[in-house]
Amino acid sequence: MAHQSDLIARDIGAYLHQQQHKSLLRFLTCGSVDDGKSTLIGRLLFESRLVFADQLEALVADSKKSGTQGEEIDLALLVDGLAAEREQGITIDVAYRFFSTDKRKFIVADTPGHEQYTRNMVTAASTADLAIILIDARKGVLVQTRRHSLIVSLLGIRKVVLAVNKMDAVGYDQNVFDAIVADYGRFAARLRSDLEIVPIPLSALKGDNVIEASTKMPWYAGRTLLAHLEAVPVEDEQDRRPFRMPVQWVNRPSADFRGFAGYVSGGVIKKGDLVRALPSGHESRVARIVTHGGDLESAVAGQSVTLTLEDEIDVSRGDLLVDVASAPSPADQLQATLIWMHENPLLPGRSYLLKTGARTVTATITSLRHKLDINTGDELAAQTLAMNDIGVGNVALDRKIGFDSYEGNRETGSFILIDRQTNATVGAGLVHFPLQRADNVHWHALDVSKKARAEAKGQKASILWFTGLSGAGKSTIANLVEKRLHAFGHHTYLLDGDNVRHGLNKDLGFTDADRVENVRRVAEVAKLMADAGLIVLVSFISPFRAEREFARSIVEAGEFFEVFVDVALEEAERRDPKGLYKKARAGTLRNMTGIDSPYEAPEKPEIRIASGQTSPDEAAAQIVDALRAAGRLR
């Protein structure tokens, strides 16, 4: 007689084998708070009885112990369990759940409805084939409905179920349903033209039109929600697209094996196919397609494989292997839709990290073309993006990389933006196209180098970046340092914040976005002057660490010296040489650093000057000595 555990194992094996031959639909649920997402998902899981069986049985057992019976109690317990997960913090992530029916298997992404978690909905939508957008029949189309619909459209989801829920709360009134569908249709007409919208009236709580057709809405002749999910076509579009595989790592366990491991994000690859590595442009043919289960003759989108090539070409982690016939041209400038996910706004000119696949580069939003009005879809002028804003902007990278448009390939046409200081993910991007200027502008090789220019002056190119509150004494000390260096025969130039605002930066104000651009421009000028072999002194408040770190990052190691002229706010206000603090306290001057605009003090400056404890002459001598000790002066 077979042991019980053997029978269970056999049943599980048969179940898994059965699931392998079913098509998979990935969908997400989204909408506003309390529109019934948990109840709807609970109903689908409860009715399928194929997922979380141990959890469901435990819930049923608990209900029986308490003396309650019936389907409604079992379902309520399951829904309560889903709601409890949300209370325990799952609202900050996306909860993925698997369930199956006789016809298809499903992965559903349960996204939170709160506006502050829109970023989680973006994560879920990036891999979904279909979106269920729930609307509370009592409330109709809300702002969050529009926001989620816009994101669904932007992220390439063409199939939408408009689930008008809680029809039981409006007496199953067809007029209510029709009005909501019409209202939503007017908004959706502004979205992508190929959007397929299927409206379904339902009650997740009562089960109407979820699994079984409702007898209380005879006026609705369409499919139930589950029937639609089982029947909707799932197109393997990625299989029909050109081959793409971002290289996750280079595998070289022995001298005679060098493989490139990654996830095939588009197309088909076969032994003998010619591929190109981007951004290098080197080409070779596929020698082997290696998996844990053995070599394959071909691999398709969705498979993780290791490719070996016939030639020893330059391929590194983060590179992109592509089909030669449809290879994109590497570029370092692009236009993209930007979805902002952080409470700190996007600031054009600020340096961020851009991650796509396994490749991380430095990126700057050079300009915002517009942001989108969530309610109307209209394009609005904008200088920044706040949390949950969506806009279109131009992005500049510090090097060329290979990428596709998002429409062409979701994986190779998308990216995330990361704050350089905190490593927090602050935004997501969907690539439109490379900018033409990326192909038309090239570096011109120069015969005279920075080193040669500096040696002719008896020095090493350097940047002294003076930062501190207004009134700290930055300009005074910088002026004295330049006088000392000039007296010693060194070649210098002093970029003073006020002076630069009379010319190069006369168009900028004092908002955070303007301050970022102010420093970005001066950092680029300082870099050019350092390339000329000069010792450049920059005296700017430069209140944000991110911009000071950007200025450091664009020059060679050892060239940048952050000089923090440290003074207490109270002392700076007492000095108030320009009367700015007095104006700020009186309310006639806005965005004053230290008053109503923040100052982020350096954490590890190369030189710290204790203003008030050190005289300007002593500070200047200290700075010159530090340059000499670092080997920057002859």
Query: Which residues participate in catalysis according to the annotation?
Result: 542
Give me the residue label for tokens 């076969």.
Answer: 270
Helices 174-188 & 143-154, crossing angle to 10 degrees? Answer: 50
- Helix and strand numbers, DSSP H then E, in the chain: 18, 27
Rounded Cα distance, 296 and 286, in Å = 11
- The DSSP symbol for 91 reads G
Q: Cite the beta strand spans of 348-437 per DSSP E.
A: 351-356, 359-372, 379-380, 390-401, 414-418, 425-434
Q: In sequence order, what DSSP letters do the residues of 533-570 get, joined into one string?
A: T-EEEEE-----HHHHHHHHHTS-TT-EEEEEEE--HH
Nearest Cα to 301, choosing from 166, 409, 451?
409
Task: Output phi, psi for 441, to 5 deg.
Answer: -115, 125
Nearest Cα to 202, choosing from 182, 226, 185?
226
Q: How many CB atoms lie within 10 A of CB 290?
A: 19
In the numeric block, which tokens belong to residue 554?
């664009």
- What is the residue type of 410? R
Rounded Cα distance, 359 and 354, in Å = 8
Give the 3-state secondary structure of residue 284: strand
Peptide bond into 112 cis (omega under 30): no
In the numeric block, which tokens belong to residue 58?
């435990």
Pairing of strands 320-323, 105-110: unpaired
Rounded Cα distance, 4 and 213, in Å = 39
Nearest Cα to 81, choosing from 62, 100, 107?
62
Estimate the share of the chain in helix, then strand, then coil, as percent rounded to the nearest 5: 30, 30, 40
SS (H, E, C) 161-217: EEEEECHHHHCCCHHHHHHHHHHHHHHHCCCCCCCEEEEEECECCCCECCCECCCCC
- The DSSP symbol for 345 reads P
Rounded Cα distance, 32 and 109, in Å = 15
Give me the residue label for tokens 């309610």.
Answer: 375
